[in-house]
Amino acid sequence: MINFDDLGPEKILEVYDQKTKMHGFLVIDNTKRGPGKGGIRMTPSVTVDEVARLARTMTFKCAMADLPFGGAKSGIVADVKNLTQKQKFDIISAFSEALKPLCPKMYVAAPDMNTAEEEMRVFAEANGSWRSCTGKPANMCVKPGKKCGIPHEYGSTGFGVYHALKIAVQHLGWDIKKIKIAIEGFGNVGSFVAKYLAEDGIKIVATSDSKGVCYLENGFDFKKLEEIKKKLGTVIKYPGCKILPTQDIINLDVDVLVTAAIPDLINEKNKDKVKAKLIIEGSNIPMTIEVEKYLHKKGILVVPDFVANAGGVISSYAEYKGYNPKSMLRLVERKIKNNTDLVLKEAKKKNIIPREAAMNLALRRIK
């Protein structure tokens, strides 16, 4: 059930196209800071309630990142595994056509689950506005070499999560070279978190995908892991690793758990199985605020999603303003490090969970 309050949602739109069978939702949560920003999620199970929760997260995320964007999110009910590329693009095009009255004045789209740079190309072309979405291909420019798309291949979200993790480790007083890290999911976010950690010489002992968990006590060779995932389609094919059920990623005896895949990963049923002392929420809504409070009482530090994974929306802003990729990454690093530090200091000072500290800061910025 959608909750309405002083922040929003301002608009909820449900659209359907008979020809393509496109059925989608758009929730514009709040536009006080600017047009609502949020990605397009394509899954067979997406609901307007899920989209509304994510839109609220985007409201706080954009305010927390101190960007001139509000919060929004959209979803298309579709099983992409049973669609041809043409069918998928036709659905995206129909969705964009339906949202024309609101894009980009009130809503700026972006990639999310099962949408990427080529879907954003289709969206922008159907919408007739370069600014209607971000995450477009690098060769999609207003002018040659000017104001070009910044696709996910730069890994802005994972890059931000990596920096949030490092700041949190500093706050805990740990030696980052001696900790063990598990990453839930090896997709668009998790793989880049792993990449940047590996380049820094930091040990990753476990990761997962829909096929299972791959645990290796001595840590992975990232390039080898990446190659196996690309060639064989799953991380559990990594030689010598212990294979566990996918959901067991939260049970592992590690120092840090990075969530980077599904919503509600940690819930009322499994919250007592968490052994990590630090959780970085690289995915959106990986647990409820009630679960975060419970873990906080157990001495587990949780860096909330709209602080840790804001790299993607910061990258979107950089693209929206016409920055180049190098400038974008510098902006992501500066904002994520600064905001994570602010939130953790505030939480410690007031003895509240980091999410409450972050929400207080974001609300001040919204108002």
Centroid of chain to Cα 142: 27
CB-neighbour burial class of residue 123 (10 A; exposed 0-12, middle 13-18, buried 19+): buried
Omega prior to 9 cis, within 30 of 0? yes
Do the bridges between strand 181-184 and strand 204-209 make them parallel or antiparallel, or are there none, so unpaired? parallel
Is residue 28 a contact partner of residue 36, using CB atoms and an 8 Å limit? Answer: yes
The radius of gyration computed from the CA coordinates of the chain, to the nearest angstrom, equals 20
CA distance linking residue 230 with residue 10, whole number of Å:
41
User: Catalytic site residues?
Assistant: 73
Is residue 210 a contact partner of residue 179, using CB atoms and an 8 Å limit? Answer: no
Per DSSP, the three-state class of 326 is helix
DSSP codes, 162-193:
HHHHHHHHHHHT--GGG--EEEE--STTHHHH
Residue type, 164: A
Q: Residue 340 is inside which H or E element, if any? A: helix 325-350
Which residues, 6 or more positions from 73, have their beta carbon under 8 angstroms from its beta carbon?
26, 27, 29, 38, 39, 41, 51, 52, 54, 55, 57, 58, 112
Do the bridges between strand 256-259 and strand 181-184 make them parallel or antiparallel, or are there none, so unpaired? parallel
Q: Which of 119, 202, 118 is nearest to 161 (CA)?
A: 202
